[in-house]
Every structure is written in C-alpha cells, then in structure tokens.
Amino acid sequence: MSENVQSAPASEKPDAIQEIVEIVKTVVYALLIALVLRVLFFQPFTIPSASMEPNLLEGDYIIVSKYSYGYSRHSIPFSPPLFQGRIMAREPSRGDIVVFKLPRDGRTDYIKRLIGMPGDRIEIRGGQIILNGEPIPREAMSPGIIDTGYGFTREVMRYRETMPDGRTYVTYDLGPDGEMDNKGPFLVPEGHYFFMGDHRDNSLDSRAPAEIGVGYVPADHLVGKAQVILLSWERAASLFKPWTWVTEARPGRFFNILQ
C-alpha cells in the first residue's frame, strides 16, 4: 500500500517568499539606520593603550560624537574619497579629547588631547607646556601608581593642568627629563592641530614627527569628540570568557563624562 505524500498548497509558497523578503528588508533597514547613526551622530571606540591615562584606561569603551566638528570623508567607514575638507565644520576647543585618523596612513584611529590650535607656538620644557610664550599652569598632586604589566607597578607623578579657558585635567609624568619632556618649539600650521597624550611619557603624539609619531593633524582628519566612558573592563576580560564581563568590569567608570 503506497503512502500519499502531501505537498504545501501553491498559495503558501508565495507567502514564505514574501516573509523572507520582509526579513531581508528589515535587516537592511536596520543596517542603514545604524550606518546613519554611526556617520552622523555617535560612534563607539575601545581604548587599546595607556597613552591617555589617568583619564582613559585600556579597556574603556567610549562614545564619540561625530557632529561636534562637522563631517569629513573620515566620518564615513573606510574613509572613501567622496569629498574634500569638512562639511558643517566647527572649530574644536583646546583641551578636547579627540579621535582622529593618523596623518601618515589616513586609516588608524588615534585618541589624544588637543593642545595646540592653528598658529600656536608650543614648547615643552621639563614636561611643562609653554603655549605662545606662557607656561600652562600645572599643580603637583600626590603620586599615582600605574600597572607596568606582568604584575609590576611603579609610582608616577601626577599634575593638574589648567588650560587658558579654565579647563582642568590630570596628567601623568614619569619625570622631567624623559625623551618627550623637552621638545620644540613647534609652530602649528594653519588648518592643523597639535595633540598630546595625558600620560606624557607613554604617548607617541604630535611631539614626534609624522614619520614615526603623529605630527600635525589636518583638520579633515578629525573624527569626533570623546564624550563619555560608557563601559569599562580590566585587561583580563575576554570576549570568549563571559564570566569576565562581570568579574573584570570597572563599574566605577561606567557613564563617566570626559573632561
């Protein structure tokens, strides 16, 4: 006795195809919305190094506002050469923490603090910044402790630095005679900016020439302004060890507004 094999009515097949089409459309719309938000408004970044300690730590997950300085081709993923310069350009403020593309390759994301504006003359003497002939005030604080890796720590000098507009932040310095503590003078070209890391002896920045460091950063290389630490984890956290998402979290750094 043979068995009858039942097949789906023909009317059900178009319904299944239509359902697949709707799913694909939903995914495409979601991706387009995410792309628009990423290009026009906010982009997340993870801090990979200690060059911005003590204000940004390795493992911090930050949000950068893309609209703060207007838009360039570097606002778009992969920096396509669609146009030159900046659209809706706004001048950054001295002291901003800025994400920018490394000038020598136009691809690598860097994050540093904006120290020099176009036309500024900058010198570094004994670790202190001299801006247009005037030392930027810095107040010595109690020493800090940094993790040098492999279970070792060392003491580091801390300073509260104050910009001419009154903005203040804390920097690290291992001493007044480091390789980067006596540099310049630098004259920042028009249309460019001068950046430094907050960990002054652990940052390859505008104090080093563009061939090996950062050099002067063109205005169209600015990506956005770092606004907030959204989340943060210790170095031992791993994507493949879900329990470390909790055990290695630094909740005291969650939702910290950056200065």
Question: What residues are annotated to the active site?
Answer: 51, 112
* Under 8 Å between Cβ of 114 and 98: yes
Neighbour-count burial for 204-228, b at 16+ CB within 10 Å, e otherwise: ebbbeeeeebbbbbbbbbbbbbbbe
DSSP type of residue 69: T
**Which parts of the chain are beta strand (E)?**
42-46, 60-65, 97-101, 109-116, 121-125, 128-131, 134-135, 138-140, 144-149, 152-162, 168-173, 183-187, 192-196, 217-218, 222-232, 256-257
Dihedral sign from CA coordinates of 148, 181, 97, 189: negative
